[in-house]
Structure 1
Amino acid sequence: MTSKYILRICAALLALSAGLSTFALAQQKAEHEVQLGVVNFPISCNEKAQEEFHTGLAHLHHMMYEQARPHFEEAAKVDPSCAMSHWGIAMTSFQPLWHPTSPEGLERGQAALARARELGAPTEREKGYIAAVEAFFTDPESRRESPARDHEARVRAWLEAQRELHESYPEDVDAAAFYALAEVCYAMTQFSPHEERDFTRERRAGALIEEYFEDHPEHPGLFHYLLHAYDSSELAHKALEAARGYDKLAPNTPHALHMPSHIFVRLGLWEETVDRDKRAAKAARDGMEDDPHASAHYVHSLDYVMYAYLQLGDTENARKTLERARTLDKVHPVPFAAYNLAALQVRHFLEQQQWQQAAELEPAMPDVLPWEQFPAAEAIFYYGRGIGAARSGDLNQAKMDRERLQERIHTLRDEDDAYWASMTEALGKAVEAWILYEQGETEQALSLMREGADLEDSMDKHPTTPGEVLPVRELYADLLLKEERFEQAKAAFEASLQRTPNRRNALRGLEMAELRENTTR
């Protein structure tokens, strides 16, 4: 982002903090007094419907889908002829960056679009928006049997339609923002093991967004989608200023408070991660009584704050975070929440090298989710147990947990979920490698652990997680250090730090390798 754009953003944020945003002032008069940023999306509907539509659109750009939908539904009630209100309902019925759309979401979106077609949009621009989202909800010509491949085909169709809409209305900031988001979402479907990503789509999305910041410095979609576009170790530095400003744009919105952590984690900025995700978790928790979906955002933020506390060595607050997660009595059953709830428990013990406690983890707990529906999340428990058991000497348990991991890998492959199948396979290799090492088969162990590390590193982390629960590359470095192969160990720790900067264990391991190398010379 150029300095010109950054200055405009900073100036706008000062205006926001002073309460000068006209949209924010209007929102303060609303029942919930929510500050969301500035959107200006004229539609052919009455004034009340337009007001509800704007509020729904702002929530939508923050990916607060469940909060957005009631406003679009209210717009449909106050203006029964408003076709664009049904566009909004359809847009809240799929979460393209997170996971494949449920049958219920597909049904709701298709019904909304049928109603929009029945009403008819009076302008070509509105027809274009409706056609763009309809591309996602139209069944692919060749139906894909697996949810993952069906999702890929739908996102690709939506991407092409959003590109056409943007090219037709190049001055329309929302058309540009949704096109940029579609590019990032499609890139997320293209993870492939052993193929390095060049981030072409993410760079294109980020560059497009930057073009609009000067004229729309308070637009929520520009902030949000820029952070997703640059959510990689290679690109994160380009989004740091936006990350430090996004929370001011929507200071009461859980996902807006959380999103900056995607950039902070990539850069190893742990204090800022804790700050944003503590606030995000509080905002989500405050909304859980009225909105059960908020519990998913709560767990998502807890995983990020757990990760950051552990990197800071703040074990007491990490322990309190674990307790909060384990005493939850409800969690909205979506894949990212299942992953985060599993990961934060497992990382708590693995990061602290508490191998016996990791081995004693109880899978699929707390019992607030249909865990069997989330094999990638279940696998995390068996990874933690397997590594913990192998490193504390219980090879029988480690082998059983390795088998449970293999079962989840088979399930994920059967579902054609290439990303999570491959990432889980990397975890299985790590458990098997440590078993081999404890059995005295050192060279086989090192070879298999390196395979696991290479597989894991060949795919970037999913936006679901702040980072791998315990990077396999670090485990590989640990083995090398145990074998006093100091140069190789240092190289492995450095490679891990390049992917995940400022990780506490990798830094300590690198220091230990250098110290032991010097003392043995």
Structure 2
Amino acid sequence: MRGLLGVFTLLSMLAATTAVFSAAAPASDAYVRAHRVVSTHSAQAQAAFDDGLTLLYAFNPEQARRSFENAASADPDLAMAWWGVAMSYGVNINTPFDSAQARHGHDAIAKARGLESDASASERALIAAATQRFAYDRPSDAERSADAYRDAMEAAATTHLDDDDVQTLAAEAAMDVHPWSYFNADGSATSGTPAIIARLQRVLARDPAHIGANHFLIHALEESPHPQDALAAATRLVADSFEPAAEHLAHMPSHAFMRVGQYEAAGEANERALGLYRTYLAGDPAGHADYFDHDCVFGVDAFMMSGDYEGARRIAGVCARGSVGMLPIVELRFRRWDALASNGADTDLTAAMLAAHDGRLDDAHKHLANLQKVGSDTVGIQVDLVQARIARAAGDREHEHEIASLLRAVALQDRLGYSEPPAFWYPVRETLGSAYVRAGRYADAEHTFRADLVHDPNNPRSLFGLAQTLAQEGRTDEARETRARFTAAWKGATPPDLNEM
């Protein structure tokens, strides 16, 4: 959820509300669920356990807990039901250690241990590992807890080599030790990451449909230099039909699609997840709101990247609360100045950019001053964008001040580090490249657009800018090839305008 938190910092106007997408709910037996045979003679307990395991893999621990408790009610002697309850109190890569949760987990796993005489060897291994996980409840013991659980799950995985759930949970335990830190900035893997990926790939070689392994492999690979290795897992999850409470699994393919430049597919995955969320919220209004917010931001960002204005507006409208939301950002991204003025430029960024576009430089400077009071890199990028727009509006004929501001913005954006979706709402190199084109600095423009295509593969706006630049340089064949790539990637009704990128 590191990406989720970064985007929240940027788009502070985002807020969750009940979605209005329609989502047809298939019959319950049409849903794809995890299945692990546990030591019970109760079909009801088995079904409830499978549902709990599915939701545990889907990062919905609260709903998973209810299912595991139902399994315990159906079979009071089922040790694995209480293992599941305990696990629902554990951390994952998106949730930090919590002392109260750890104590609840400790109590639940104690109940599992009291029932394990009838458990299988693999079940006893899972219970023993969870016992290590919940042996600590002080915040200062968070790292110790994660290490102990990882080591215990590694031991279980060494013994139960052919047990796909044990292998998957062992991989997740290793991921939890250093969440969202699987690759360094230079693309090299951090300690333990190759083993995590290899373990998940072995599981998927045996069972390509394994929900947990597909989910975790996408997370393990998305920050890597080869995110395309997660596309098979993403495609499998797209093909599955999940219960509404497992909406995060429907969202997950977008983490792979976004990284390889399949922006429209990423937007569609989030739109699907938001549709499931509507059904889920009908039964559980509290829901797990952070994930709804994440889907909203991710979906808008993806559709904006693909040029799908209507798709971005559709999700932005769903995710708005009261008079605020992401819609002004969508209008700004597509340079729909009239719509921005009509719908309300309700942040200093959108108001400043609109004022500069309209030539109201005093108003633009007023909003710029407000932005300059905030000391963060994401707001610093906004400051530089506004300064670039003001310089242009003030008659910066050589584009010197505009380009200087945009270079600062790019440098700040590069400092933000990895998050998905990106912590800033669009690649500033698009704007810098277009400024170079307008200044007649075609070599600099080409370099900038190509650099962006490394950061943001298949970005249609940079493909468009690059094609225009190559044409200006007389490189007709390269321009034609690049323009064809743009046409395939762009989902907008009309091409971008280099003067408004």
TM-score norm. by structure 2 comes to 0.72
Residue 248 of structure 1 aligns with which residue? 239
Rg larger for: 2
Equivalent residues of 2:129, 2:152 under 8 A apart: yes
Give the drift of 1:475: 4.6
For 1:35, the aligned partner's letter is Y
Partner of 2:380: 429
Return the alpha-carbon distance in structure 2 between the equivalents of residues 161 and 389 of structure 1: 60
C-alpha deviation, 1:443, in angstroms: 7.5
Give the alignment of 1:75-474 within 5 angstroms: 75-101=71-97, 105-117=101-113, 119=115, 125-139=122-136, 143=140, 150=142, 154-190=145-181, 195-200=185-190, 201-232=192-223, 234-252=225-243, 253-292=246-285, 293=287, 296-326=290-320, 344-345=326-327, 347-354=329-336, 357=340, 361-362=345-346, 393=361, 394-404=364-374, 406=375, 409=376, 425=377, 427-434=378-385, 437=388, 438=390, 445=405, 448-456=408-416, 459-462=417-420, 465=421, 468-474=424-430
Q: CA deviation at 1:244?
A: 1.8
1:103 and 1:314 map into 2 onto residues whose CA distance is 44
1:472-515 alpha-carbon deviations (Å, 9 max, x no partner): 44454455445543323322222222222222332233334445
- Label 1:178 to 1:347 Cα distance change in 2 as closer, same or farther (>3 A): farther
Counterpart Cα distance in 2 of 1:509 and 1:105: 51
Q: Residues 75 and 242 from structure 1, CA distance in 2 versus in 1: closer, same or farther, beyond 3 angstroms?
A: same
- Say if 1:447 and 1:158 are closer, same or farther in 2 by CA, change over 3 A: farther
**Distance change in 2, residues 1:52/1:498 (3 Å):** same
The Cα offsets for residues 24-65 of structure 1, whole Å up to 9 and x where unpaired, read as: xxxx9xx94352245224346865433322221122223333
TM-score of the two chains, using structure 1 as the length reference: 0.70
Contact 2:349–2:386 (Cα < 8 Å) also in 1 = no
Structure 1 gap ranges (5+): 1-27, 145-149, 330-340, 364-381, 410-424
What is the aligned partner in structure 1 of residue 452 from structure 2?
496
When residues 167 and 328 of structure 1 are mapped into structure 2, their CA distance, relative to the original with a 3 A threshold, is farther
- Contact 1:38–1:218 at 8 Å: present in 2 too? no
Q: CA separation of 1:273/1:428 partners in 2, compared to 1, >3 Å: closer, same or farther?
A: closer
Distance 1:159 1:244 in 2: 29
| Structure 1 pair 270–120 and aligned structure 2 pair: CA distance change class (3 A) | same
Cα separation, 1, equivalents of 2:205 and 2:386:
56
Summarize the Cα distance change of 1:241–1:108 in structure 2 as closer, same or farther, 3 Å threshold.
same
Secondary structure in 1 aligned to 2:207?
coil
In structure 2, relative to structure 1, the CA distance for the partners of 1:301 and 1:61 (3 Å cut) is same
Q: Does the aligned pair in 2 maintain the 1:284–1:295 contact within 8 Å?
A: no
Inter-CA distance 133–354: structure 2 relative to 1 (3 Å threshold): farther
Against the structure 1 CA distance between its residues 307 and 75, is the aligned structure 2 distance closer, same or farther, given a 3 Å change threshold? same
When the two chains are superposed, the root-mean-square deviation of aligned CA atoms in Å is: 3.8
| Deviation sequence 1:164-194 (CA, Å, 0-9, x none) | 32123222211111122234444534389x9
Q: Structure 1 pair 48/472, CA: closer, same or farther in 2 (3 Å)?
A: same
Q: Distance in 2 between matches of 1:134 and 1:361?
A: 53
Q: What's the counterpart of residue 332 of structure 1?
A: none
Distance, in Å, in 2 between the alignment partners of 1:468 and 1:243 is 24
Q: Which SS does the other structure have where 1:502 is aligned?
A: coil
Q: Alpha carbons of 1:161 and 1:303: their partners in 2 closer, same or farther (altered >3 Å)? A: same
